Amino acid sequence: MITMADDQDIRQKTTPREDSSADDALDVQTVVVPERGRWAVEIVVLFADGVVRRRIDTFPTEARARLSAGLIKRAAERDIRGPLNG
């Protein structure tokens, strides 16, 4: 069982990966593309010095892929822009 003290120790020891950008993201988009009979969701993040595009997952239907893409985008935008009401 992890206690609150252990959880705080873990957070303090966390450091950015060497291959990650320390810059704040400027924008985020999600893309749904057909691939081999399935639908892939990719996230595109815009930084001041470049763009990062990563595959999230594939889904059997376009509807599920679009639903997932929307949820991922909203969560990412929340991290970029911060709280809307405060």
Say how many domains are in the chain: 1
- Asked whether residue 29 is assigned to any structural domain, the reply reads yes
Q: Is residue 62 part of a domain?
A: yes
Above 90 in pLDDT, residue 82?
no
In a domain, 36, yes or no: yes
Stated as kind and residue range, the H or E segment containing 70 is helix 62-81
Task: Please report whether residue 8 resides in a domain.
Answer: no
Instruction: State the average pLDDT over residues 11-35.
Output: 74
Enter the pTM of the model.
0.67
Whether residue 19 lies inside any domain: the answer is: no
pLDDT at 48: 83
d(CA 71, CA 53) in angstroms, rounded, equals: 17
Q: Which domain holds residue 80?
A: 24-86
- Whether residue 14 is contained in a domain is answered as no
Return the amino acid letter for 26.
L
Q: What is the C-alpha separation between 25 and 34, in angstroms, rounded?
A: 27
